[in-house]
Amino acid sequence: MRSAAFLEALRRGAGAWPILTVDWVARGLDLGRGIYSTAIRPTSLGQVSAVTEDGTGWSEISYGSGIRSGTLEAVSWAVKVSDPRGELLDMLETYDPRGSAARADWGATGLVAADWEPLGRGVVADWSREEPFTKLILKTDDTVLRTPIPPGLFARTEWGSAYDSSIFGTAFPVVLGIHDLSLITARGSVPLVNVRYDEVIGYWWALSAANVISIDRLYFDGVPQSTAGWSVLRGVYGGAFMAIVAFSPGYQPAKDVIVSCDCHGPDELGGSAGSTLTGPPDQLRVILEEWAYRSAPLGGWRGPAAIMDAASWDAASEYFALHRCESARRLGADQNAESAAELVQSFLDSYPFVRIHWNEMGQLEMVVIDADDVDPDADAHLQLDLHHQDGRVPYEPGDGREVYSHVRVPFCFSAADQKFMSAYEAHDVAALAEKVALVNENVWSQVRLRQEVADLNPAPPADPVWP
């Protein structure tokens, strides 16, 4: 229970009742507030405007995703409002106020709205008629999750001097985490996009619509380049923040050359001075807060958003940090950018022990199901405090979770084929004596391999990097 005042009111014998409050809006037109409860009574938000059906008038509201399901689903519920003359139905049919903000609460005698116990937050999704009632159907507001990430596109009017017109209409790239293949292929891990190729206004290649801490190495067609003749620009260009590699005249590559790099993405604040943001839940949180539920950032991150349940995401972040899980993502840079909902689902598919669900405050909440609990007890299935000793994951023969057969790393350049491959498979690593290779099928993870591995489960170094 979230409201201590509501709990105290119940202990004192105060009566409690459900209250639905809807601020009706249609295409920017304010249609007023509707307050619906089991009886006509005054509330701190206004007078109850219509009563709801007794008994079955309110459908059950169920939160949480459970243990077996790894899918984020909208929470919906229904309320039957007494409407014998059809006045509420007429308003709905006339103005179509779908999307109006709604809140459901338990109210109690003598309590103001701030002390009510929340039941649900969402929007009006639909309605139906069940004489003499009008049935309001409500759900959590997941419309924003359809937003493509990142939402910005390369436009001809802004980037008309790019030599390759195929970039127009493609999404801006966003790079998060540490991208470094210098010990594997040494041919670059992230491709750049040419946005200017002109001797007057410059030779520019865009890396990311987010800040970057550093570009560590630059490659032309997979061949390492010196640090001379290019610099990194960070700022708002073409109406969007962009990290860009600018070449001095005479140092620019030919038009058909593929430019790639190894780099460190933005820090925890979206800047370029701190430690790289590498935690998978931290990166997903930034994507939702900075690109889905807000307009694209024009600088650093703007801080927590109300849509996120901060406490649960912080706990999940600590769990991933303890187990040294990292992620390196490159989003966008194509015609069909993934939506925020698709990114959330890919995260859940990548980490089966994580659940993301809506809570009664209309927020996204993240929960970690500890991997030690294969068949958890019904009353103790969420155990954030159960971790492997010292953060190490012990290997045991036959343990399929820890032993893998090959490496897959996206955005690798093939010198033999002279193109970027969708994946690099290092099957030969598995043939090495006393060693195994690591599978990186998880798109929300990162593998940075060392050239020498002492055993299957070495003690972590002082500043370890584990997948």
Count CB-CB contacts under 10 A for residue 156: 12
In the block, tokens 């998060």 appear at: 176
Count CB-CB contacts under 10 A for residue 380: 10
**Phi, psi of 404, rounded to the nearest 5 degrees:** -135, 170
Q: Which of 249, 194, 184, 183 is nearest to 220 (CA)?
A: 194
How far apart are the C-alpha atoms of 112 and 146, rounded to whole Å?
35
Bridge partner list, 53: none
How far apart are the C-alpha atoms of 456 and 403, rounded to whole Å?
9
Which H or E run includes 117? strand 117-130
Q: Give pLDDT tens digits for 116-130.
A: 999 999 999 999 999
Specify burial of residue 190 (Cβ count, 10 A radius: 0-12, 13-18, 19+): buried
Model confidence band, residue 238 (pLDDT cutoffs 50, 70, 90): confident
Cβ 368 vs Cβ 381: under 8 Å: no
How far apart are the C-alpha atoms of 331 and 397, rounded to whole Å?
37
First to last CA, the chain: 38
DSSP assigned state of 115: G
Predicted local confidence at residue 264, as pLDDT: 95
Q: Give pLDDT tens digits for 27-40.
A: 999 999 999 999 99
Predicted local confidence at residue 178, as pLDDT: 92
Residue intervals of the chain classified under CATH 2.30.110 are: 4-141
Q: Give pLDDT tens digits for 271-285.
A: 999 999 999 999 999
**78 compared with 376, residue with greater pLDDT:** 78
In the block, tokens 């001075």 appear at: 273
SS3 of 5, please? helix
The CATH number, out of the four listed (2.30.110, 1.20.120, 3.40.50, 2.60.40), of the domain defined by the range 4-141: 2.30.110
Predicted local confidence at residue 239, as pLDDT: 87
Bridge partner list, 55: none
Render 174-198 in DSSP notation, one character per residue: EEESEE--TTTT-S-SEE-EEEEEE
How far apart are the C-alpha atoms of 315 and 319, rounded to whole Å?
6
CA distances from 193 to 131, 155, 161, 162, 276 (A): 60, 13, 12, 9, 22
Instruction: Give, in degrees to the nearest 5, the angle at Cα 402 between 399 and 405.
Output: 100
Residues 85-97 have a mean pLDDT of: 96
Q: Give pLDDT tens digits for 378-402.
A: 443 333 333 334 434 444 444 434 3
**391 compared with 62, residue with greater pLDDT:** 62
SS3 of 271, please? coil
User: Model-level pTM?
Assistant: 0.80
The average confidence (pLDDT) of the chain is 82
Q: Which of 259, 258, 279 is nearest to 267 (CA)?
A: 279
